[in-house]
Each structure stands twice: as structure tokens, then as C-alpha cells.
């Protein structure tokens, strides 16, 4: 199966993506990858912290509930949650339909930009996706 | 070693993702659980349920032999009718739930759950001896469910199916093969189930898919039956639960006086007030109450029950679940909480089913 992996994003081993935002140099938008949404299945609910919450890289910050399972969301970087995608409250299926677009999950103000350097680019992420 | 479905290649063609279930390799989903769920609620879906064990009881004594095997008085079932029944143990606990089809004067079919197939067949053998035979491998069983299911089955199978009323069953000739068909199912929708000789199964599958049926897997089957508040053996009912507390009294006949395993215990259980009841819980906030999660009183520390089934209802867009609650907490309107991994999810006791198909 071919999964979308846009070139302009950063990726984590937990199958999350980050986009550096042009309008605010220290902010990133975070979502789950096409592969992740396919694995987790129909998303029905997301449990996310309130705006202003502090995220710590590598620590869980939320949960994603699908029809068949629940998965934790791990913070790819440390920082402050600036916004979560309010549209997902009514339409959680956007995570499946548009994982890199309307299905974005949170926006975070990064506290240590050096953490971004540890993330994968699209090529590296593609290389560690399962073959199947 | 998992048993593979006769139609395995057909399922792969449809993009099936398989999972092991009760010794079978079964389609868990194709396009996605929610899409398949919706297809069944809004149009028509087809499930390969060949894992269900199919046992026949035949001969002049069949009705009387079968009567003593399960709780329901099948001798009251006229030819061409099907009914739900239970195997119970001496304590009145439910060993399995089954569907019994009265095909013709001396021919009956009993459908067993896959996980209990061997034990069930032994129970059947114990009362019916050689009159009972299990021939699951010779056939494929397909469930066609949804508002368009009866129309599709009538167009594929013809007059023989079109004439059936709900809960009717019949044997009919389809392109030279003997099919067993019934207006039954496990989704809360109208529809039918077909048992077709294995060598003709691909033709029937192709005709159903070609006629617009969406292939649906075990994932959707579970969310559909949960919305319809149909119990799953091993989850909501088991050897430690009796039919009355499970709300399955309609499957137990005591008035005919006929003996069956568990009768004495069930006579006693029926006469007593229920100490607990299988209650139906609807989430009143966002969250998914899953099987095994604890149920508590609002603000309470101690678990009063565990969810025997739970999940997200695609039709209602809320979390739903079932649990055995003390009788005083099982009343409609009672507010409780489910512990969703440390977070309290408010739930309300509601009437069953969670979802009822629109009339008309």
C-alpha cells in the first residue's frame, strides 16, 4: 500500500508529522500520518489538552479513539499548546480523510528548536515504514 | 492453525483485512468499520459468517429430541419458522445462544457460535445421537443485512425468498443448487441469511456484490449488534449469567413442562426478583466506553460492574455499552460513570435497543 508522505513535513517514529508554520517561526502544526490513520482506523473521538497546556517531548499528551481501538498521541517536541483543531470535535473523521490537511490535530509553540533537528524528513520516514 | 474461509480470495479482492476469530481467519474490515456499518444501516451489506457452526437434526423424532437440548419449546415452532434459543447448564447459566430453524417436518438446523461449536455439538449429540450431524465445511453462510437487503435477496434468489416473512426460513432451488434461506440476522436490520453449497458460494457472493451489497466484516458486525443491543456470547452472556437477568426470558419455555438442562434452576430464577440485570448505558459526554471498563456510581470509588461490551455507536455518534448492574441501579434514567482510563465518563441507563431502525 502506498501512503502519502509530503516532502515538506517532519516525521516521528510514532507516525506523527510536524509542519513549520510560515506565519510564526517557533510554531508547528502536528497531526498523524496517512499510515497512522490507516492503522488506527475510523477516528471517532480525540481527547486533547486545553490551550496553554505544556507538552513534553516523548510524553503522551492526548488520545485518539477509533472504532476499534485507542491510541496515545505523543508529543514530538516540547512546548505550549497554542490551539487544537476544533473542527475535529464535530468531524473526527477528518483525521482519516485529510490527515495532512483539515485533519491536523494541534498547533504547538516549540520551546527548544533543537528538538526539531532530531525528527525525520520524508525520505527517512518512508524508509522505516513497513514494506507490506 | 486457522480455518480459512471458502471465499477467502473474494474477500481479498474486496480489500479485506483479516483477523483470527474463534479459530477462523475472518475479515475484520474492508473499506473501514464505520463505512461498512453505515452501508448496512442505510443500504445493504453482506457478511461472510461461515464460521458459525451448522448442525442438522433430522428424522421423525427430531422435534422432540431437539426440545430437550435447549431452553425454547421448538415443538411450538411451525414449519418454515426460526427462533432464538439457549443451551443452559444445570445452574441455569447460558452455555451458548443459538438459532433454530424448522426447515421441514423432519429437518431442523441449529446455528452455533464458532467459539462454542464443539461443545455445542456434543450437547446436541447427547440428546439427539446420530440424528444430529454437523456439516459446516460443506457450505458457506452469508448474512445480507440492511434496508435494501430483502429487495436484493428477492432479486437474486427470486420468488422463493420474496415470499418469506421475518423469521421465516425455507429451502429453495437456486440455479440448480439447494439453498437454505431465512429472514434472520444479527444487526437490528431487516435482511436474510443464506446457506449455500461451498461450490456455488462464489456465484452467490458475486451476485450479491454485483447487486450492490457492501462487504462488511466482523468489526461492523460487532458495532451493529451492539447498537441493536443483541448480546454476544462470551461477553454479555456466559455460563455464569442466567437468561432472565440477561433479558432473554423470551428464549425460555417452562410452561410445556418438558425437561431440558437447567430447567429447575430457571424455574427458581424466574420466581425470584432479579438481583442484577443487564443494563444498557449511553454516554452523556464524549468518550468511548470500551469492553472491560469499570462502571461506578457518580463520584464513586468502587466498581459496581464491568462493561460486558462497549464501544462507539456510529449511528448515534455516542459511546454505548452494557453491564450487569444491581437491580436498583439498572433503572432507566439512572446516571452512572464509566472509568475511561482514569477519566469519568457520565453514562445513563437507557432502554434497549440503542438503535432502532426507522419505521416504514
The three-class DSSP label of residue B326 is strand
Distance in Å, alpha carbon of B34 to nearest chain A alpha carbon: 6
> What is the mean pLDDT of the segment spanning B52-72?
96
Looking at residue B1, what is its pLDDT?
86
The verdict on a CB contact (< 8 Å) between B290 and A42 is no
- In this complex, the residue of B33, B286, B341 whose CB is nearest that of residue A41 is B33
Contact present, B320 and B227 (Cβ < 8 Å)? yes
In the predicted model, is pLDDT for residue A43 greater than 90? yes
Q: Which residue of B has its CA nearest to A72?
A: B341
Indicate the pLDDT class of residue A1, thresholds 50, 70 and 90.
low
> Helix %, strand %, coil % for chain B, to 5?
25, 35, 40
More confident: B205 or A2: B205
Interface test with A, best of B34, B36, B314 (most A CBs within 10 A): B34
Query: pTM (2 decimals)?
Result: 0.93
Distance in Å, alpha carbon of B313 to nearest chain A alpha carbon: 8
The verdict on a CB contact (< 8 Å) between B314 and A70 is no
Mark out chain B residues that contact chain A at CB-CB < 8 A: 28-29, 32-35, 37, 219, 223, 286-288, 290, 311-312, 314, 317, 341, 343
Cis, peptide link before residue B18, omega less than 30° from 0: no
Q: How does pLDDT run across B230-244, given as a tens digit for each residue?
A: 999 999 999 999 999
Distance in Å, alpha carbon of B287 to nearest chain A alpha carbon: 7
Contact present, B303 and B294 (Cβ < 8 Å)? yes
Q: Where are the domains of chain A?
A: 10-115
Q: How does pLDDT run across B275-308, given as a tens digit for each residue?
A: 999 999 999 999 999 999 999 999 999 999 999 9
DSSP-derived secondary structure letter, B76: G
Q: Which helix (H) or strand (E) holds B114?
A: none
The verdict on a CB contact (< 8 Å) between A45 and B311 is no
Residues of chain B with Cβ-Cβ distance to A67 below 8 Å are 32-34, 37, 219, 223, 311-312, 314
Mark out chain A residues that contact chain B at CB-CB < 8 A: 41-42, 44-45, 47, 63, 65, 67-68, 70, 89, 93, 96
Residues of chain A with Cβ-Cβ distance to B41 below 8 Å are none
Looking at residue B75, what is its pLDDT?
95
DSSP-derived secondary structure letter, A3: -
Domains of chain B: 1-272 (3.30.1360.120), 273-360 (2.40.30.110)
The verdict on a CB contact (< 8 Å) between A47 and B219 is no
- In this complex, the residue of B286, B287, B312 whose CB is nearest that of residue A67 is B312
The verdict on a CB contact (< 8 Å) between B288 and A65 is yes
- Please report, for chain B, how many H helices and E strands are present, in that order: 9, 20
Contact present, A82 and A50 (Cβ < 8 Å)? no
Q: Which helix (H) or strand (E) holds B43?
A: none
Listing DSSP states for B299-323 in one string gives: T-SS-SEEEEEEEEETTTTEEEEEE
The verdict on a CB contact (< 8 Å) between B33 and A68 is yes
Looking at residue B140, what is its pLDDT?
98
Q: Which one is the CATH code of A10-115: 2.30.130.10, 1.10.3080.10, 2.40.50.100, 3.30.450.70?
A: 2.40.50.100
In the predicted model, is pLDDT for residue A132 greater than 60? no
Residues of chain B with Cβ-Cβ distance to A41 below 8 Å are 29, 32-33, 219
In the predicted model, is pLDDT for residue B264 greater than 90? yes
E-state strands within chain B: 3-4, 17-21, 24-29, 45-48, 53-58, 81-88, 94-104, 107-112, 132-134, 139-145, 169-174, 177-182, 191-197, 214-215, 276-283, 294-296, 305-313, 318-326, 335-340, 343-350
Residue B144's closest CA among B125, B164, B130, B127?
B164
Contact present, B309 and B322 (Cβ < 8 Å)? yes
Phi-psi region of B226 (alpha: psi -120 to 50; beta: other; left: phi over 0): alpha
In the predicted model, is pLDDT for residue B107 greater than 70? yes
- In this complex, the residue of B33, B290, B343 whose CB is nearest that of residue A42 is B33
In the predicted model, is pLDDT for residue B256 greater than 60? yes
DSSP-derived secondary structure letter, A48: -
Residues of chain B with Cβ-Cβ distance to A42 below 8 Å are 32-35, 314
| All residues at 6 or more sequence positions from B284 whose CB lies less than 8 Å from its CB, including other chains | B318, B335, B346, B347, B348
ipTM above 0.90 for this complex: no
**Percent with pLDDT over 90 in chain B:** 98
Contact present, B22 and B15 (Cβ < 8 Å)? no
Handedness of CA B253, B255, B259, B265 (dihedral sign): positive
In the predicted model, is pLDDT for residue A16 greater than 60? yes
Looking at residue A68, what is its pLDDT?
85
The verdict on a CB contact (< 8 Å) between A67 and B223 is yes
The verdict on a CB contact (< 8 Å) between B219 and A67 is yes
Looking at residue B289, what is its pLDDT?
97
Average pLDDT of chain B, as a whole number: 96
User: What is the C-alpha R_g of chain B?
Assistant: 20
Amino acid at each position: 500500500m502506498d501512503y502519502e508522505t509530503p516532502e515538506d513535513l517532519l516525521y516521528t517514529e510514532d507516525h506523527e508529522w510536524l509542519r513549520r508554520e510560515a506565519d510564526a517561526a517557533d510554531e508547528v502544526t502536528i497531526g498523524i500520518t496517512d499510515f497512522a490513520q490507516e492503522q488506527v482506523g475510523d477516528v471517532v473521538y480525540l481527547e486533547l489538552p486545553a490551550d496553554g497546556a505544556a507538552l513534553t517531548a516523548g510524553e503522551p499528551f492526548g488520545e485518539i479513539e477509533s472504532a476499534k481501538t485507542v491510541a496515545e498521541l505523543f508529543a514530538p517536541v516540547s512546548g505550549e499548546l497554542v490551539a487544537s483543531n476544533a473542527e475535529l470535535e464535530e468531524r473526527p473523521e477528518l483525521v482519516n480523510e485529510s490527515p495532512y490537511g483539515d485533519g491536523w490535530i494541534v498547533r504547538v509553540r516549540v520551546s527548544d528548536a533543537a528538538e526539531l533537528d532530531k525528527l525525520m524528513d520524508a525520505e527517512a520516514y518512508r524508509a522505516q515504514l513497513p514494506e507490506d | 492453525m486457522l480455518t480459512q474461509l471458502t471465499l477467502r480470495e473474494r474477500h481479498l479482492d474486496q480489500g479485506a483485512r483479516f483477523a483470527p476469530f474463534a479459530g477462523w481467519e475472518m475479515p475484520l474490515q474492508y473499506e473501514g468499520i464505520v463505512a461498512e456499518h453505515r452501508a448496512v444501516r442505510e443500504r445493504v451489506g453482506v457478511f461472510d459468517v461461515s464460521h458459525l457452526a451448522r448442525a442438522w437434526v433430522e428424522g421423525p423424532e427430531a422435534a422432540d429430541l431437539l426440545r430437550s437440548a435447549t431452553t425454547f419449546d421448538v415443538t411450538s415452532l411451525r414449519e418454515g419458522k426460526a427462533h432464538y434459543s439457549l443451551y443452559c447448564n444445570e445452574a441455569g447459566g447460558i452455555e451458548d445462544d443459538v438459532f433454530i430453524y424448522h426447515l421441514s417436518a423432519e429437518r431442523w438446523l441449529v446455528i452455533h457460535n464458532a467459539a462454542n461449536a464443539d461443545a455445542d455439538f456434543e450437547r446436541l449429540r447427547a440428546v439427539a445421537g446420530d440424528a444430529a450431524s454437523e456439516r459446516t465445511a460443506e457450505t458457506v453462510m452469508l448474512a445480507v443485512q440492511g434496508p435494501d437487503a430483502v429487495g436484493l435477496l428477492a432479486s437474486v434468489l427470486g420468488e422463493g425468498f420474496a415470499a418469506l416473512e421475518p423469521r421465516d426460513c425455507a429451502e429453495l432451488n437456486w440455479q440448480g443448487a439447494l439453498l437454505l434461506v431465512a429472514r434472520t440476522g444479527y444487526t437490528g436490520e431487516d435482511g436474510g441469511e443464506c446457506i449455500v453449497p461451498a461450490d456455488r458460494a462464489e456465484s452467490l457472493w458475486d451476485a450479491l456484490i454485483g447487486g450492490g451489497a457492501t462487504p462488511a466484516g466482523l468489526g461492523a458486525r460487532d458495532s451493529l449488534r451492539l447498537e441493536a443491543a443483541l448480546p454476544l456470547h462470551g461477553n454479555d452472556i456466559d455460563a455464569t449469567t442466567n437468561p432472565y437477568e440477561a433479558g432473554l426470558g423470551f428464549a425460555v419455555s417452562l410452561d410445556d413442562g418438558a425437561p431440558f438442562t437447567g430447567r429447575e434452576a430457571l424455574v427458581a430464577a424466574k420466581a425470584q426478583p432479579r438481583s442484577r440485570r443487564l443494563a444498557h448505558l449511553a454516554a452523556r459526554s464524549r468518550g468511548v466506553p470500551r469492553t472491560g471498563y469499570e462502571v461506578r456510581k457518580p463520584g464513586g470509588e468502587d466498581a459496581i460492574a464491568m462493561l460486558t461490551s462497549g464501544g462507539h455507536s456510529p449511528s448515534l455518534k455516542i459511546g454505548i455499552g452494557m453491564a450487569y448492574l444491581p437491580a436498583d441501579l439498572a433503572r432507566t434514567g439512572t446516571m452512572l460513570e464509566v472509568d475511561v482510563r482514569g477519566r469519568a465518563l457520565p453514562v445513563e441507563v437507557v432502554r434497549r435497543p440503542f438503535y432502532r431502525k426507522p419505521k416504514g
